[in-house]
Chain A
Amino acid sequence: MSIEIRNVKKNFGDFSALNDVTLDVPSGELVALLGPSGCGKTTLLRIIAGLEAPDAGSIHFHGKDTTERDVRERQVGFVFQHYALFRHMTVFENVAFGLRVRPKETRPSDAEIKRRVHELLELVQLDWLADRYPPQLSGGQRQRIALARALAVEPKVLLLDEPFGALDAKVRKELRRWLRRLHDELHITSVFVTHDQEEALEVADRIVVMNKGKVEQIGTPQEVYDKPATAYVYNFLGHVNQFNSNVVKGEASIGGLNIKLDKENQQADGAALAFIRPHDIDVQRIKNGTAPAFEAKVNYIHAIGPLVRLELQQLGQDAVIEAELTQERFRELGLSTGEQVFIYPRNVRVFVDNTASA
């Protein structure tokens, strides 16, 4: 079932949580609402669920206006960040709850409930925990139970609010891959909220980047990462070195250098923000050729992991530039702190409209 969100607005007192949000979630897709805390993503999810009412605008499920419909009737599965399991019920009863509270006419028989619950517990690979109570489970197990509970009512739409936010890094990685596989099996229209760009890029079919109650960009992970629509999106998706810049006739001045802009990154003249990703920087010991380069001093070397992170201080400027080199390249250069080097930016992105800067 597709979800259409039309011009939704929501204020909490003076604070505008959602400012005219319009969005389509195609049927069967897994969509991530991505943004920093306070950007309105959770509010939007709660409005889709019917846990919160919009001040203006409407929500449609498969073309049908559901704005006025109660959460009980919307047939949505909602998964909370902190699981919200019923502590006094066993895992089995938690999952069975949605079936047991149905009116008598539509309530499945006990045998049928038992069958369905065990089927779901097998789906989340936790059938062996059926008789335990939620406080006896680990965080990852609780969240999988919460998901099974939400799926028990056969929702048309699955909504997940920072589902992995309270878990440690390793479990989080495991669970998000598992969620992706689960979605590929069930194909239920799903929306999940996250502030973790890595998570969104890895799991989602489509990412909605939000900022200050507005949608900044909608697109596939590839699109938003490779072709960020605004400076904000570029900044939010991954590490960046940020410079104040000025664009004149297709050339951007950055930290005293004039860098010619690519064809696809042409901007009108004016003040701009320029970004260089740390892995788009090459470091050389000697200046060669005519390509523009910063002169810098190596401040700090962090050589653990597959990538070596360098903190470089541009000479004569305050700017600190971060660069990432492969271990191979780093060994080849044989750098140590305090040395002087030349920095060659390989790829510079410039956004003239800097009102949306972070």
Chain B
Amino acid sequence: MAKKHNNVLPGFNLSLGFTIFYLSLIVLIPLSAAFIKTSSLSLHEFWVAVASPRVVASYKLTFGASLIGASINALFGLLTAWVLTRYTFPGKRIIDAMVDLPFALPTAVAGIALTAIYAPNGWIGSLLAPHGIKVAFTPLGVVIALTFIGLPFVVRTVQPVLEDLEAETEEAAASLGANRWQTFTKIIFPAIAPALLTGFSLAFARAIGEYGSVIFIAGNMPMVSEITPLIIITKLEQYDYAGATAVAVVMLIISFLLLLAINGLQWWSSRRNASAI
């Protein structure tokens, strides 16, 4: 007789097997193909493909601009989430819905729209141009595009946590004499920090991979405003498949390490916060 398992949630083996199969099919195999394709290059060819000055400049721009964009989102996304959870005002639902627009909009549309506004003859661009500030076709434009597409991540991860915060803990802090700033920094912020970090890393990851919205506003000048995904596309268009995958592999590794670091930080902070349960 087979041993009888009376598990409340049966099918562990089946569901785990399917999950691994699915992840392999959708994620692991395509990614490993990039590594396999890259391995057709010699070490020297690989180095030339991934470390030429133009490619290195694009790494700096992609990761730098993504980091700045995600940081801006962390700050203003938190503010947006705060306003949406703490206050009621007319049109709140519309603003709440608008937060998701960068998710839904085709990125190319976002890119064209941003370019039209920030170009030297656009609405905002024409106001900034007299002050010598150029947005479109500069790294600044890249930052703006990456900020635009990353906003929903922070808002949507922080919002539910803010909604779940007990009002009583804030009242307790106030009755103990804490002012608003102390209540925020010592009570509210530690509670939402893990969610904020998650939102930040999601926005950051999304920004690194972003292509559509950036290429319009960036101007794509080599060494100045050319992002790495564009370099990959350019190489593909020149039938340099191995070179394109080599750059992709480098990006993949850097992204993986960064996300690992962020997750490690998050694990550490949540362990510190909820040390228990």
A80-B178 in contact given A88-B190, A135-B274 (Cβ < 8 Å): no
CB interface residues, A 126-158, toward B, < 8 Å: 132-136, 146, 149-150, 152-153
Q: Are B276 and A78 in contact (CB under 8 A)?
A: no
B residues lining the A interface (CB < 8 Å): 166, 168-169, 171-179, 182, 186-187, 190-191, 272-277
Residue-wise, chain A 268-306 has the 8 Å CB interface mask toward B (1 for contact) of: 000000000000000000000000000000000000000
Flag if B182 contacts A87 (CB, 8 Å): no
Cβ-closest 5 pairs across A and B: A98-B176, A84-B168, A78-B175, A101-B178, A88-B273
A112 to chain B, nearest CB (A): 16
Report whether A153 and B176 are in contact in the complex, using a CB–CB cutoff of 8 Å. yes
- Bound-state CA distance A292–B178 (Å) is 66
**Which of A6-14, A69-77, A341-349 faces chain B?**
A69-77
Q: Can you identify 29 A-B contacts, CB atoms within 8 angstroms?
A: A49-B175, A72-B174, A72-B175, A72-B179, A76-B175, A78-B175, A80-B168, A80-B171, A82-B166, A82-B168, A84-B172, A85-B169, A86-B169, A86-B172, A87-B191, A88-B191, A97-B173, A97-B178, A97-B186, A98-B178, A101-B178, A132-B276, A133-B275, A133-B276, A134-B276, A149-B176, A150-B175, A150-B176, A152-B176
Residues on the B chain within 8 Å of A72, using CB:
174-175, 177-179
A115 close to chain B: CB less than 8 A: no
- Please give, as numbers and ranges, the residues of chain B lying within 8 Å of A101 by CB-CB distance: 173, 176-179, 182, 186
Selected contact of A87 from candidates B176, B186, B273, CB within 8 Å: B273
How far apart sit A51 and B170, CA to CA, in the bound complex (Å)?
A: 11
Q: Count residues on chain A whose CB falls below 8 Å from chain B CBs.
A: 29
Query: Other CB < 8 Å A-B pairs besides A88-B273, A88-B274, 18 of them?
Result: A72-B175, A72-B177, A78-B172, A80-B168, A84-B166, A84-B171, A85-B172, A87-B274, A88-B191, A88-B272, A98-B178, A101-B177, A133-B275, A134-B276, A136-B277, A146-B172, A150-B175, A150-B176
Q: For residue B176, which residue of chain A has the nearest CB?
A: A98
Chain B residue numbers with a CB within 8 Å of A102 are: 177
Q: Give A80 to B172 CA distance when docked, in angstroms.
A: 8
Distance, CA A268 to CA B170, complexed state (A): 53
Q: In the complex, which residues of chain A have a beta carbon less than 8 angstroms from the beta carbon of B273?
A: 87-88
Interface centre among A78, A85, A88, A146 (most CB of B within 10 A): A88
A99 → chain B closest CB, angstroms: 9
Partner of B175 from the list A77, A85, A133 (CB cut-off 8 Å) is A77
* Cβ-closest chain A residue relative to B190: A88
**Closest CB-CB distance, A203 to chain B, in whole Å?**
22
Contact A78 B171 (CB under 8 A): yes
Decide if A135 touches B171 in the complex (CB within 8 Å).
no
Bound CA–CA A177/B178 (angstroms): 31
CB contacts (< 8 Å) of B190 on chain A: these are: 88
Q: How far is the CB of A108 from chain B (nearest CB, A)?
A: 13
Chain B residues closer than 8 Å to A149, beta-carbon distance: 172, 176
Across the interface, name the chain B residue whose C-beta is closest to A100.
B186
Chain B residues with CB below 8 A from A88, complex form: 190-191, 272-274
Bound CA span A152–B172, Å: 13
Which of chain B's residues have a CB closer than 8 A to the CB of A70?
Answer: 174
The answer to whether A97 and B176 have CB atoms under 8 Å apart is yes
Chain A residues within an 8 Å CB radius of B168: 80, 82, 84
Residue of A nearest to B182 (CB): A101
Cβ distance A57 to chain B, nearest Cβ, rounded Å = 21
- Contact assessment for B175 and A71 in the assembled complex, using a CB-CB cutoff below 8 Å: yes
A97 surroundings in chain B (CB, below 8 A): 173, 176, 178, 186
Instruction: Return chain B residues, CB-CB under 8 Å to A77.
Output: 175
Q: Mark each residue of chain A from 33 to 72: 1 if its CB lies under 8 Å from any CB of chain B, else 0.
A: 0000000000000000101000000000000000000111
B179: chain A residues within 8 A (beta carbon) = 72, 101
Nearest Cβ on chain A to B162's Cβ, whole angstroms: 15
Q: Please, which residue of chain B has its CB at the minimum distance from the CB of A159?
A: B175
Please report the C-alpha to C-alpha distance between residue A45 and residue B191 in the assembled complex, in whole angstroms: 28
Contact residues in A for B175 (Cβ distance below 8 Å): 49, 51, 71-72, 76-78, 150
A163 to chain B, nearest CB (A): 13
Closest to B272 in A: A88
For B169, give the chain A residue with the smallest CB separation: A84
Q: How far is the CA of A88 from the CA of B275 in the complex (A)?
A: 8
- The docked-state distance in angstroms from the alpha carbon of A80 to that of B167 is 11
In the bound complex, residues from chain A placing their C-beta under 8 Å from that of B176 are 97-98, 101, 149-150, 152-153
Closest to A97 in B: B176
Contact in complex: A98, B276 (CB < 8 Å): no
With the chains together, A102 CA to B274 CA distance in Å? 26
Per-residue 0/1 for A235-248: is the Cβ within 8 Å of any B Cβ (1 yes, 0 no)?
A: 00000000000000
The CA-CA distance from A146 to B172 in the complex, in Å, is: 9
Contacts of A76 in B (CB 8 A): 175
A305 to chain B minimum Cβ distance, whole angstroms, is 37
Report whether A135 and B276 are in contact in the complex, using a CB–CB cutoff of 8 Å.
yes
Question: Which residues in B have their C-beta under 8 angstroms from that of A146?
Answer: 172
Residue of A at shortest CB range from B168? Answer: A84
Q: Given the known A-B contacts A84-B168, A101-B182, are A153 and B177 also in contact in the complex, defined by CB atoms under 8 Å?
A: yes
A86 to B189, CA, bound (A): 12
Q: Complex Cα distance A51/B172, Å?
A: 10
- Chain B contacts for A87, CB-based, 8 A: 191, 273-274
Distance in angstroms between the alpha carbons of A87 and B176 in the assembled complex: 16
Q: How far is the CB of A70 from chain B (nearest CB, A)?
A: 8
**Inter-chain contacts of A134 with B (CB < 8 A):** 276
Roughly how many angstroms separate A136 CA and B191 CA in the complex, as a whole number? 17
Residue in A82, A86, A135, A146 with the greatest tally of chain B CB atoms within 10 Å: A86
